[in-house]
Structure 1
Amino acid sequence: MAAYGLYTHIASNKFRSMLLLVGLFMLFYVLVYAGALIAEVLIDGNESVAYYLSRALADLLKAAPFATIAAAAWIVIAYFFHQSMIDAVTGGHDVTRQEEPRLYNLLENLCISRGITMPKLKIMDSPALNAFATGLNPRQYAITVTTGLLKALNDQEIEAVLGHELTHIKNGDVQLMVIAVIIAGVVGFFGELFFRLFTSFSWSSGSGGSWSSGSSSSSSRSSSSSDNKSSGGGAVVIVIIAVVLIVVAWLLSQVVKLALSRSREYLADAGSVELTKNPDAMITALRKIEGRGELPGATSAVMELCVDNPREGFADLFATHPSVQSRVDALVKFAGGRDPGPLPAPDETEQPAEQTGQADAPPPLPQGPWSDAARTDEPASPGSAQRPTGTGIGTPIGNPMGPWGRH
């Protein structure tokens, strides 16, 4: 059924996501079958292809309960400890209102305005510009923001990013992505394990394995030698099939994660605009984050949860996020936002914004009525608001929080 409007798109996306997760879990059994094929060849390398296929299927049926228990145990461990694992990798830590009043107030205001349970707030000490949400239930939900993002974005842009992450939580994206990463991790782990077994087996067979040496019998048993040659060829075919299954399972696990994430980023951007009523803030936040979001030392699983997951070249084929340009284009088309275009790389010789008294000023963008314009030094008349009178950028007076005031 076709989806019309934001909420029907969300419902349709959830249904497709559940089907994809089921398919992702089935890939685990494909790997078990591939492992059974390799095991059968290692046990007896002198049989036909049909024999190996039937024996591996029987092994799969016997091993399926144990494989399911092992996968479930993996998921349970990740369910309770995934946040600790992520914090250990990223260095994120909880913050209170007293430690980060600006960020805490912005998040609290968004949650109160829409009746959303406020997640935990975490800070990651990194110059990268990024943020991500984690958690599998309301007690675990958390939003992590980098210090680089806090320094580079103004209040409205940070609010837009927080709205993006809150939408991921509200739509159930966080649970699905965390589970997808966990299951894909199972697939990747066993895929690598079986691949190592295969390479070890190939090395030993190259030195004179059972199925390669069986064809070198004495000439007095020519018929037996012919059978061994044929069966040895069957073992080679089975090994090739097993390797293909492992590679295909891994590739499909990456494709499923891609399918789960890309459409969700568009919906999260739209949800942020719905929360903040400010498409321009979401657009300028994306433009500032563009190309500056790579978290040093973070695993690919963590980057898949972020606002932006920059990838270049061949790696872009498996990018879990659409490009910033396509996301901005969608916001311009459907939300009526204005795109300032890609922003230049920050000049390292320039002083940081907080040192020049313009911590909340936007980067070099076309100036408009929302910008901090130059102010005159003349005192304002009693009872009247002080307004910008120039077109250049000056140092704001008496308003260190920017033109939007405190939140």
Structure 2
Amino acid sequence: MLRIALFLGTNIAIVALLGITFSLLGIDGLLAQNGVDLDLQALLVYSLVIGFTGSFISLAMSKFLAKKTMGVYVIDSPRNQTERWLLQTVERQARQVGIGMPEVGIFDSAAPNAFATGMNRNSALVAVSTGLMQQMTDDEVEAVLAHEVSHVANGDMITMALMQGVVNTFVVFLSRVIGHIVDRAVFKVERGHGPAFWIVSMVAEIILGFLAMMLVMGFSRYREFRADAGAAQLVGKHKMIAALQRLQNSHESPKMPDEMAALAINAGRIHALFASHPPLEKRIEVLRDMRI
């Protein structure tokens, strides 16, 4: 969830900033062909620029932001046996899946958690929390690391960036079309764009973005199953199941960390549509049914 939250938060901020900048520069005004009809070709190019720029800048900044936001200590030279074991384990797994050695780090958090991020599969970051190291056995930590390494090997961050770029493009495109229609049909603006175009476009962009988030989160849940399967291939499904069961126990404790909220097993349907991870019980069930 951590890598998803950082990526999406950065993406939304950049898209909003680009939209405001383009509006101030008057580029939005060029979308009205001859001042009357909406130039759909120009609008599509405009939407593509905003959509994919926000997504790929987010991807490029993902590793830097993760380090700074989470306070990740990157292990360059192991200070103890635990750090040495982490490096050796990730190195072995990276070699097995055929990717470059990721940076390995630790961040201070009582919640058992881990994430992988980075712009490409040969220059990634895999980080685990202190809580995960304290609460899990070596086999369980090994399985979590394999899960994150599988995310990297699957190119999940790049795929997420491409999908988010497409989603951004359609949200920007459709919101401007809706704004244009309302401006012409309801407020009877005949040339250029009136205030209604900007207001309706912004409102439509928020609503469409909210709905589009369901598609992005749906893909995020799908890739968690793929990473679980990859981890099962690397270390054995019994280790991955044990790690998920440990997370399940942590989740069911009275004081659940906020960053574990997306793993909610008893989440309502609406919450489930926006969850970045499938329910833990479902992930365990799928792993048990796998034939390895």
Is the shorter-chain TM-score for this pair beyond 0.5, marking a shared fold?
yes
Alignment TM class, shorter chain as reference: 0.5 to 0.7
Structure-2 residue corresponding to 1:23: none
CA apart distance, 1:180: 4.1
TM-score by length of 2: 0.66
The amino acid across from 1:275 in the alignment is L
Deviation readout 1:243-277 (Å, 9 max, x if unpaired): 7743552134212212211221112111111111x
For residues 334 and 139 of structure 1, what CA distance do their matches in structure 2 show? 28
Distance 1:70 1:164, change over 3 A: same
Deviation readout 1:96-127 (Å, 9 max, x if unpaired): 35131121122122233454422111211111
Aligned residue among 30, 35, 38 for 1:57: 38
Deviates more, 1:127-136 or 1:308-317: 308-317
**Where in structure 2 are the equivalents of 1:272-351 lying within 5 Å?**
272-276=231-235, 278-290=236-248, 292=250, 309-311=262-264, 312-313=267-268, 314-335=270-291
- Count of residue pairs the alignment pairs up: 245
Aligned residue among 224, 227, 251 for 1:265: 224
**Where in structure 2 are the equivalents of 1:6-405 lying within 5 Å?**
55=36, 57-58=38-39, 60-99=40-79, 100-180=83-163, 231=188, 245-276=204-235, 278-290=236-248, 292=250, 309-311=262-264, 312-313=267-268, 314-335=270-291
For residues 141 and 131 of structure 1, what CA distance do their matches in structure 2 show? 13
| SS of equivalent to 1:144 | strand
Distance 1:63 1:270, change over 3 A: closer
Quick check: 1:291–1:310 contact (8 Å CA) kept in 2? no
For residues 129 and 76 of structure 1, what CA distance do their matches in structure 2 show? 29
Quick check: 2:140–2:242 contact (8 Å CA) kept in 1? yes
CA apart distance, 1:149: 0.6
Unaligned 5+ segments in structure 1 are 1-27, 44-50, 199-210, 212-228, 337-407
CA apart distance, 1:79: 4.0
| SS of equivalent to 1:321 | coil
Distance 1:61 1:327, change over 3 A: same
Unaligned 5+ segments in structure 2 are 1-14
Quick check: 1:134–1:142 contact (8 Å CA) kept in 2? yes
| SS of equivalent to 1:326 | helix
CA apart distance, 1:333: 1.7
Distance 1:159 1:56, change over 3 A: farther
For residues 85 and 138 of structure 2, what CA distance do their matches in structure 1 show? 8
For residues 95 and 187 of structure 2, what CA distance do their matches in structure 1 show? 72
| SS of equivalent to 1:290 | helix
| SS of equivalent to 2:278 | coil
| SS of equivalent to 1:309 | helix
CA apart distance, 1:324: 0.3
For residues 181 and 82 of structure 1, what CA distance do their matches in structure 2 show? 14
Q: Percent identity?
A: 26
For residues 105 and 287 of structure 1, what CA distance do their matches in structure 2 show? 25
Deviation readout 1:338-380 (Å, 9 max, x if unpaired): xxxxxxxxxxxxxxxxxxxxxxxxxxxxxxxxxxxxxxxxxxx
Distance 1:320 1:55, change over 3 A: farther
